[in-house]
Amino acid sequence: MGLRSLAVLSLLFSFKLVTVNADVNTYDYIVVGSGPGGGPLVSYLARSGATVLLEAGDDQSKNLNLTVGGLFKQAGNDKNMRWDFFINYGTDPKLDAYHPRARTLGGCSTHNAMHFMDLDNDHVVPPGTKGHGFGRFLDISVNSPEYPRNQSDAETILATTAKNLGQPQTNVFAMVARNLNNNDADRDQQLGQSMYKADPGYNASNPGIKKQAFARKEVIISGGAFNTPQLLKLSGVGPKSELTKLNISVVVDLPGVGTNLQDNLEVGTSATANKPALANLGPIYTWDAPRDPCLDAWYQGKGMHAQSPLNAIVVKTSNATERDLFIFRITSASFRGYWPALTVNPIAPDPRRTWDFSMVKIHPQSWMGTVTLNSADPRDTPEINFRFFEGPGSDADIAAMAKGMQPGRSIFESIPAPLDKRCDLKEKVLPQSRSYHASSSSATGADSDLMTVLDASFRVRGTTGLRVVDASAFPRVPGGFPVISTFMISMKASEDILRDAKAT
């Protein structure tokens, strides 16, 4: 299982964040993908053993589209940090839609619009340091050397450890207190870029460099809801009927791989005032870093880009058992979704006198989505079809979304402005819906459920030493935005993995 899968994975992902070990290309843990699932996980595992992270992109932490929260739309369109997927929302081919995914260190968390992102309580840097959080649940600190200083032979053991890891053997107590996220010159290794067809820079004539890595303990797949089932299937883990059609040797017949794909749907209501309105009281933002005049204020923690542009309410509709509509406002623009900027269907900016009420339908009652292979080529993209509004519960979802559009229309109706009141809101839901938070395509579930892929500890059924830790593991789409939930399961998975390692 491991030899075949790793050969495939190495075609897709570049080596990053390598912890050097005496055995060349052999590590305790191999983590594939650095998003909200793999990123926290690899940081925990690296403290307990030699760990390698395979990531398709590079480090874009100096890219203002990533670091400025207000530029999240530009992050999703940045060719240096995106993959372009074109997906289907149903049986109607006219409903194909663009779905950007991240190709960079941090994965799709780098596209986040600053919803629920302030997690950390940093004890490493002085309070108020830019780029760090304080007062939240996730404590971040560095170790103290005082404990090993007070143990006999600790210095000898630490020096031997440093030698085996290829590190200097001098001042080992200082190494104990070193920041794991340091910028060592040899920390990252780059073996190739743009090897996947979804990459804007993909070149089919570039064969790449084939490398292999081996895990003594475990391989953890954190490729996300599209790529995780693709990687499992290419490695022989998936529905037997699908794999045999593509002449892929079946290692484990798991019919649930690539099924159960889900997402929260989004739709909105916007209007444009018939006279000048919503004028900026400060610099006019242009969303084109580094020339955006609002950046000077952002560096001081002020201005339009200092926080997410979204304010929201969460409400419950009559057909739901819990709050199921996340409604947020956007001023001076209308959120129409994503498209590859300047290349496919370029759309002129909305007038600045635009006001938008967008909505996310949380916990949809209908889900039938699939991720299936188009070929056995690991550089090819899979076929992705969410099949929205095709299964049981579709009518309830459409009714809830139509209801969510009504408050915005009521507000606009109370303001003197042209508004077409004749449309059937339910008819508008289907063609205008979109989604960007996919999950659940390699779901966790009960041992008795043959369609589940993972057990409660994220182990892939029928395999040894293979787990999945990302949003594809959720049996149901979690809440409105899955980034926090994925951070949390990543922390749980690290505990499961390290506990199992101690037990063996």
CB-based contact 334:269 (threshold 8 Å)? no
**Do residue 407 and residue 315 come from a single domain?**
yes
Question: Which stretches within 270-312 are classed as H helix?
Answer: 295-298
CA 485 to chain centre: 11
List the Cα angle 226/230/232 in 5-degree steps: 125
* Tokens of residue 320, six digits: 């739901």
* Residue 299 to residue 301: CA distance in whole angstroms: 6
- Per DSSP (E only), the strands in 287-346 are 311-315, 325-331
SS (H, E, C) 77-127: HCCCCEEEEEEECCCCHHHCEEEEEECECCHHHHHCCCCCCCCEEECCCCC
Neighbours of 451 (CB within 10 A): 13
- What separation in angstroms does the CA of 191 have from each of 42, 212, 357, 444, 502? 19, 12, 44, 33, 33
Q: Which domain range does residue 290 map to?
A: 265-363+389-432
* Tokens of residue 497, six digits: 């993995």
**Do residue 395 and residue 452 come from a single domain?**
no
* Residue 438 to residue 250: CA distance in whole angstroms: 26
Matching residue, tokens 């509004």 = 389
- Per DSSP (E only), the strands in 298-353 are 311-315, 325-331
* Tokens of residue 482, six digits: 């899955």
Domain annotation covers residue 286: yes
Pairing mode of beta strands 466-468, 14-16: unpaired
Domain annotation covers residue 216: yes
- Per DSSP (E only), the strands in 179-222 are 214-221
**Do residue 306 and residue 408 come from a single domain?**
yes
CB-based contact 104:188 (threshold 8 Å)? no
Q: What is the CATH number of the domain that holds 204?
A: 3.50.50.60
* Residue 220 to residue 238: CA distance in whole angstroms: 16
**Do residue 269 and residue 403 come from a single domain?**
yes
Domain annotation covers residue 382: no
**Do residue 407 and residue 291 come from a single domain?**
yes
Per-residue confidence (pLDDT) for residue 220, from 0 to 100: 97
3 state SS of 279: coil
**Do residue 225 and residue 304 come from a single domain?**
no
* Tokens of residue 384, six digits: 């992705």
* Residue 215 to residue 4: CA distance in whole angstroms: 13
Listed residues 380, 409, 432: the one ending a domain: 432
- What separation in angstroms does the CA of 288 have from each of 64, 100, 214? 9, 19, 43
| Domain total of the chain | 2
CB-based contact 452:461 (threshold 8 Å)? yes
Listed residues 401, 432, 463: the one ending a domain: 432
Listed residues 432, 461, 483: the one ending a domain: 432
**Do residue 300 and residue 404 come from a single domain?**
yes
* Tokens of residue 197, six digits: 């067809």
Element (H, E) at 355: strand 354-361
Identify the segments of the chain with pLDDT beneath 70.
1-24, 91-96, 112-125, 128-158, 160-167, 172-173, 175-193, 275-289, 303-304, 306-311, 331, 341-346, 414-423
Domain annotation covers residue 375: no
Q: Residue 139: which of 124, 125, 121 has the closest Cα? A: 121
Domain annotation covers residue 376: no
Domain annotation covers residue 75: yes
Q: Tell if the pTM clears 0.85, that is, is over it.
A: no
- Per DSSP (E only), the strands in 226-308 are 237-238, 252-253, 265-272
Show Cβ contacts of residue 130 under 8 Å, excluding neighbours closer than 6 positions: 299, 301
* Residue 156 to residue 142: CA distance in whole angstroms: 21
Domain annotation covers residue 153: no
**Do residue 78 and residue 209 come from a single domain?**
yes
**Do residue 323 and residue 415 come from a single domain?**
yes
Q: Residue 69: which of 364, 308, 279 has the closest Cα? A: 308
Per-residue confidence (pLDDT) for residue 118, from 0 to 100: 44
List the Cα angle 461/465/466 in 5-degree steps: 55
**Do residue 275 and residue 423 come from a single domain?**
yes
**Do residue 333 and residue 467 come from a single domain?**
no
- Per DSSP (E only), the strands in 373-434 are 383-385
Domain annotation covers residue 170: no
CB-based contact 225:439 (threshold 8 Å)? yes
**Do residue 255 and residue 398 come from a single domain?**
no
Pairing mode of beta strands 26-32, 51-55: parallel
CB-based contact 126:144 (threshold 8 Å)? no
| Per-residue buried b or exposed e for 101-130, using 16+ beta carbons within 10 Å of the residue's own CB | bbbbbbbbbbbbbebebeebebeeeeeeee
* Residue 369 to residue 477: CA distance in whole angstroms: 12
* Residue 277 to residue 364: CA distance in whole angstroms: 36
